[in-house]
Each structure stands twice: as C-alpha cells, then as structure tokens.
Amino acid sequence: ATAAAADKPAKSKWNRKNPFPSPLAATRRLSAEGSAKEIHHYEFDLADSGITYAAGDALAVLPVNDPELVSAILACLDLDGALAAEESTLFETVLKTREIRTPGKDLIAAVAEASPDGGLADIVRRDDRDALDSFLWGRDILDLLEENPSARFTADELLGLLRPQQSPQYSISSSPLASPDRIHLTVASVRHSPEPGARSHGGVCSTYLSDRIADGDLTGIWLQPNNAFSVPEDADRPVIMVGPGTGIAPFRGFLHERAEAGATGGNWLFFGDQHRATDYIYEDELTDLEEKGVLTKLSLAFSRDQAEKVYVQTRMREEAEELYRWLEDGAYFYVCGDASRMAKDVETALLDVIAEQSGGSENAALEYLATLKKEKRYVRDVY
C-alpha cells in the first residue's frame, strides 16, 4: 500500500537571494523552567508564498544579528555607522548581511598581520589548524578585536573581511498533511559563556528567533528539500526513529504524516534528554499519539534521572530482540541529531544488536547495515 502523502514539492522561487518574508505565527517554549536547555517551538505562516513542503525537509532561516553586538564591534574599531561602499549605513549592513560571531580566515589573517607579536600570529605562521581551533574556541569576533587593539580597519575593509551572514537549516517538525499552511520548527537556543562572569555568546539564528522577533514579525525563509529523508512510500512498512533532544523534530512530522495518511506500519520512537521533568518536549502529543495507536512503541531515555546515565543507545541494546525483529520485518531505521557523538553511538549499538541477534560476526553485521543503506532503509539527518 502507498501512503497518500504529499508529493515532493517542485522547486520553489524562494531562495537565499530571494527569501520569503514569512510572518511568525506562533511561539512557545517546550523545555520547562529548570532545564539546562532552552527549546522553543516556532510556526511560520506560508501565507501566499506557494511553498509546498514534505515531512523530512528542512527550512533555511535568514537571521538578523544582535544590534548590541554589532554596536560593540563598531565601537571597538572606532567606526561610527557612516555610509560604506554598499550605500547603506555600516551598522545596517553588518546587522543584516554579515557573519559577526565566528571569524573567517580572511579576518583571522588580517588580525594576525596587524598584531605580529601576538599568539594568533604565531599560530597562523605555523599553519597549525588544531592550535587555531583551540585558540578560537570560546572566542568570537569581538573577543578577537578586543584582544588585538592594533587590528583596526576602515568600514570597507571590515565589510571585506566579514563573511556573508550564514543561514542555518532546521529540520521541519510538521507534516503538510496536518499543517499545509504553516511550517513548524523545534529549535534549541544556543548560549554559552567562555568562563563565569564573561560576556555570553549566543547562536546567531537561535537567539534571533528566541530573543529578537515576536509573533507577527516577518522573517526570511526558504525551503531546503531533503528527498533522501522521508517516510516510506509503502505505508505498511514499519518505521524506527531515533531522535533525542531536538532530533525529534522530523519524527514529529513523520508521525503526523503517518497518522494523516492512515499508514498501517508500526512506528517506534526512541527519545531522550537529560531530565524527564524538564526536557520531555512534546510529551502531551506523544502520549496522545500512543493512545491513538499511531505511536506503536515509545522508548524513553533520560540520562540524568538516575545514578547511571541512560541514553537512547542503551534502550536500543535493551530492546535488541524486538528491534532486530522489526528490521527483519522490513523496518526503516532513521536517526536525527548530533553527528559527533550520538549518531556514532547509535550506529555502534545498531551493529551490536544486529551481530548479537543474528549470531553473525562483526563483518556480517557491517554487511547487513550496508544492505540497509543500499535499500535506503538506514537514513540519517545529522549535524
């Protein structure tokens, strides 16, 4: 059987050079007070954009920088906001079109050249990538300029040294079958201080969404189709989804899609975070989907609610027999979230489950996984 899911959309006229000005239709905080994380749910109105999306796609968002940080950078350089080469005030140009958090190679080289006796210059001369990464960790552009007072640039030099503003892509957490006129995002606000009492650094786009726009404000968006990450065309196929934290985003869309399409295949979600009391986002929705029989099985892993830390891969190993049976029954296996640790740990656990339950060797498990990939039944959306 084939689910009556929305067809993959045709190419949109909206893109980075021509983003759609979407009204922010709704916002709510998902993580509770006391959580170490700050996760929000956002809904963007597609209005008359003509944008059609599919569950599993991503949305690019064009943020506006923090005006206080822009002012601090310009003040540090003794630049006043006068007209620059781009025929706009320097302040407005930097605010809306330049990356002002992470220094790029041109700016790094210019600062090093202006401060030849500094530690950065020594690293650049040695072309030591690891040392540069360590040096830049916890430092942003303002830090770099404050630490190197001899590095001073004109307005046009600064614009040439700053990279274009980045536009992060977020996994869409809705389905067009359930929400054709709005795209939902699930975003964690990124904030950190290099040391206690230091100036807080924030993710440009995540804090733009949480701090600097309100419902009704227009934000530039465009669709980033992800054809490889979509629900199975065969509605009878079971689906296993591993998405801790904000990695749940596309799977919320998948579950709504499967529910609306009347898919008969089972749906198994592995979800987790630090604490159930503060970090169990979309709990009411997941409970409702369980009660309706859409969510066949829900395996939860809250790592810090007990002495021994428990993660989604822990639950996978505990459920090894049933997990392998689902795979043998043709299940699709999806992973979304952190690429550096979680996704690797999940793959290791999956290989262990396959080897243990099949009674085969490690090589045989690797071959089994390779077959899943070839059949497009092992799919990852990691970052």
Model confidence pLDDT, tens digit, residues 232-258: 999 999 999 999 999 999 999 999 999
Model confidence pLDDT, tens digit, residues 87-97: 578 999 999 99
Q: CA–CA distance from 65 to each of 41, 305, 306 (Å)?
A: 21, 37, 40
For tokens 């904000």, name the residue.
Answer: 246
Contact 234, 2 (CB under 8 A): yes
Are 266 and 365 contained in the same domain?
Answer: yes
Euclidean distance between the first and final Cα of the chain, in Å?
33
Are 198 and 326 contained in the same domain?
Answer: no
Which pLDDT score is estimated for 194?
78
Contact 310, 302 (CB under 8 A): yes
The answer to whether residue 9 is domain-embedded is no
Confidence of residue 38 (pLDDT cuts 50, 70, 90): very high
Are 172 and 282 contained in the same domain?
Answer: no
Q: Which of 179, 167, 189, 241 has its CA nearest to residue 29? A: 189
Beta bridge partners of 332: 239
Which pLDDT score is estimated for 85?
52
Are 375 and 256 contained in the same domain?
Answer: yes
Are 249 and 368 contained in the same domain?
Answer: yes
* Count of H-run helices and E-run strands, the chain: 15, 13
Other beta carbons within 10 angstroms of residue 150's beta carbon come to 11
Other beta carbons within 10 angstroms of residue 325's beta carbon come to 13
The answer to whether residue 265 is domain-embedded is yes
Model confidence pLDDT, tens digit, residues 131-144: 999 999 989 999 99
Are 258 and 374 contained in the same domain?
Answer: yes
CATH number at residue 351: 3.40.50.80
Are 341 and 259 contained in the same domain?
Answer: yes
Contact 343, 372 (CB under 8 A): no
**pTM for this prediction:** 0.92
Model confidence pLDDT, tens digit, residues 64-119: 999 999 999 999 999 875 555 555 789 999 999 999 999 999 999 999 999 998 88
Put the strands of the sheet holding 239-242 in their side by side order.
297-302, 267-273, 239-242, 332-337, 378-382
Confidence of residue 1 (pLDDT cuts 50, 70, 90): very low
Position 3 pLDDT exceeds 50: no
Backbone angles phi, psi at 345, to 5 degrees: -65, -35
Domain span at residue 258?
239-382
Q: Which of 146, 145, 65, 136 has its CA nearest to residue 98? A: 65
Are 329 and 208 contained in the same domain?
Answer: no
Position 4 pLDDT exceeds 60: no
Model confidence pLDDT, tens digit, residues 301-340: 999 999 999 999 999 999 999 999 999 999 999 999 999 9
The answer to whether residue 91 is domain-embedded is yes
Beta bridge partners of 2: 234
Chain centroid to Cα 8, Å, comes to 22
Look at strands 267-273 and 239-242 and give their pairing: parallel
Which pLDDT score is estimated for 11?
65
Are 190 and 316 contained in the same domain?
Answer: no
Confidence of residue 10 (pLDDT cuts 50, 70, 90): low
